[in-house]
Amino acid sequence: MNGEKTDRIKAAFARDQREDRPAVAPGDIPWRYEAITPEWMTHIVCADHPDARVVAVRLDVPDSGTSNRRRIYLDYNEAGQAAGLPASVFCKATVDLRNRLLLSTSALLSETSFYNQIRPQLAIEAPQAYLATYDPDSYASIVMLKDLGGSVSFCNHHTQMTLERVQDQMRVLATLHGHFYRSPQLDRELAHMFRYDDRFLALDRDHDFKGMCEAGLREAGDVAPARLMARQDEVWSATMRASARHGELPLTITHGDVHLKNWYITGDGRMGLSDWQVTSKGHWSRDVAYTISTALTVEQRRLWEKDLLAYYLEAFAAAGGEAVPFDDAWRNYRQQLLTTLAWWTMTLTPLGDVPDMQPRDITLEFIHRIATAMDDLDALDSLD
């Protein structure tokens, strides 16, 4: 990472520790969860109910990965209780220095832009935010969401995915991608959004992305196909070509981290998509390849992936995209498996100031699924 930027973030973090200021006024950003006060929370959740007050906040157990996550329980005065205000909210923040450093690479700008500008335009199943903000100097941040706990089931690598569920995932992605495909907003209101290929380069520049990916692939040798591992020295250069190819394709808004753990199932069986901190301008093919290759077992993917891609293309065109020839889409799908794998080999072996982001068993399972898809579809040769 740029030394001057790193020093600035570290100095701001040290200042926050030293001063330990409570969050009280509406514009304050709590530097740690314990800095949240009832007064500050009242500004956020009682804004439409002038007589309501939060009288107490209680913190659930910490949960950290890429961001520092926590559920907060709220107690209200009588007016707040009568208004039926939320008993809890779910928050993502940058409480630890490592998280500030990692997420300073555009992620905070991306997620706050999603909830403040992009989410209101979309009729999809995704979380709603009460607040999404960050400080561009210190990279202290907080995203406060409607608490979905108890009303939805979050997925993991053990979730039994049906064809209908994955088709619903394709509809969510098609709605997102179709709405913003070649949109004038990309050069106007959303001009500040990172392009995915630029984010890829920034990760390598600031956090040795290449070193983490190469170390992760070696570490995952037991779960990756032998034929792919025999060519492991070709993987990074091919990945960089796939990322560059991604940057040459028509743009839309993409989620960027659509692995199965970021999806949830509602009470009526719909698929919802959470964790929008890697939202970028990019091509739709990476989201589709990433979703299919992590959501499905190897056997399911082999059976369904071409039909699912065709299903997506039809939904994409209907949602405002364009008619894409299947052969072109299939080539892009194969290529973007390379950039998908990089997200998880990095996760397996984080280096330097990158935090440990996922449990090892989940990471290895996703690498197995993605690497096997790459091998099945000759992804290394798709860029020739």
Measured between alpha carbons, how far is 245 from 197 in angstroms, rounded to an integer?
9
Enter the tokens of residue 75.
């107690």
- The angle at the Cα of 89, spanning 139 to 145, to the nearest 5 degrees, equals 55
Beta bridge partners of 99: none
Q: Which residue has the tokens 């091919």?
A: 238
Helix axes 298-318, 163-180, angle to 10 degrees: 40
Low-confidence spans in the chain with pLDDT less than 50: none
| pLDDT of the residue at 107 | 62
Spans of all domains in the chain: 3-146, 152-381
| pLDDT of the residue at 218 | 97
Measured between alpha carbons, how far is 13 from 265 in angstroms, rounded to an integer?
37
What is the per-residue DSSP string for 218-260? Answer: HHTTTTS-HHHHTTHHHHHHHHHHHHHHHHHSPPEEE-S---G
Of the candidates 312, 325, 330, the one whose C-alpha atom is nearest the C-alpha of residue 171 is: 312
Is pTM, for the whole model, over 0.85? yes
Q: Are 370 and 337 in contact (CB under 8 A)?
A: yes
| pLDDT of the residue at 4 | 86
Q: Per residue in 170-218, pLDDT tens?
A: 999 999 999 999 999 999 999 999 899 888 888 888 888 999 999 999 9
Percent of the chain scoring above 70 in pLDDT: 99
Q: What are phi and psi of 27, to 5 degrees?
A: -85, -5
Q: What are phi and psi of 312, to 5 degrees?
A: -60, -45
Sheet holding 263-266, edge to edge: 152-154, 263-266, 271-273
Enter the tokens of residue 187.
């050069």
Q: Which residue has the tokens 């905070």?
A: 108
What's the mean per-residue pLDDT of the chain?
94
State which fold the 152-381 domain adopts: Aminoglycoside 3'-phosphotransferase; Chain: A, domain 2 (3.90.1200)
| pLDDT of the residue at 359 | 92
Q: What is each CA distance from 49 to 73, 116, 279, in whole angstroms?
A: 18, 21, 32
Q: Are 144 and 26 in contact (CB under 8 A)?
A: no
Residue type, 18: R
**Cα within 13 Å of Cα(20), Cβ side:** 3
| pLDDT of the residue at 102 | 77
Enter the tokens of residue 269.
């069986």
| pLDDT of the residue at 185 | 98
